């Protein structure tokens, strides 16, 4: 493969066995693909640790019958309009809704938005999925 460097690593047998199991469970074609994935994951973590520009999704579940909650959630999102790229709203049943917010901005801004949404009374669960703009992953 052009542009690919080969390297060698040494691992204790028990650690190698665990690596092999992870590769199989992850259905990777080979160890190299698995190791590349680990490295990219760590690079994304570093971008977040360094408060660099990042991308993410915030998904939260809430009771839309909770008094004033929809207005509060909308107000919070308007406060972060410069970070929000898109939202998707889904009616799960008569009482509960799911919303996914796609965001791009400094890591701390995204985390602040996630925390503000999570803290609203009536939000049942919220999760932040961290990612990268991809600029530093290749």
- In tens, the pLDDT along 2-33 reads 788 999 999 999 999 999 999 999 999 999 99
Q: Examine the domain organization and report whether 38 and 72 are in the same domain.
A: no
pLDDT for the residue numbered 84: 98
pTM of the model: 0.86
* Coil, strand or helix at 22: helix
Q: Examine the domain organization and report whether 43 and 75 are in the same domain.
A: no
pLDDT for the residue numbered 125: 98
pLDDT for the residue numbered 136: 85
Q: Examine the domain organization and report whether 64 and 34 are in the same domain.
A: no
User: CA 12 to CA 90: how far, in whole Å?
Assistant: 49
Q: Is residue 94 part of a domain?
A: yes
All residue ranges of the chain with pLDDT < 70 are 1
- Which ranges constitute the DSSP H helices of the chain? 13-25, 31-49, 69-79, 107-118
pLDDT for the residue numbered 1: 55
- Domains contained in the chain, number: 2
């Amino acid at each position: 493969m052009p542009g690919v460097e080969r390297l060698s690593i040494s691992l204790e047998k028990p650690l190698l066995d665990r690596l092999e199991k992870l590769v199989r469970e992850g259905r990777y074609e080979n160890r190299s693909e698995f190791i590349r994935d680990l490295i990219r994951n760590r690079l994304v973590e570093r971008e977040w640790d360094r408060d660099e520009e990042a991308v993410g999704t915030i998904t939260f579940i809430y009771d839309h019958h909770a008094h004033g909650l929809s207005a509060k959630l909308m107000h919070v999102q308007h406060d972060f309009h410069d970070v929000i790229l898109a939202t998707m709203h889904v009616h799960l049943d008569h009482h509960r809704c799911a919303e996914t917010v796609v965001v791009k901005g400094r890591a701390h801004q995204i985390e602040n938005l996630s925390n503000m949404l999570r803290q609203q009374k009536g939000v049942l669960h919220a999760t932040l999925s961290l990612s990268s703009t991809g600029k530093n992953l290749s």
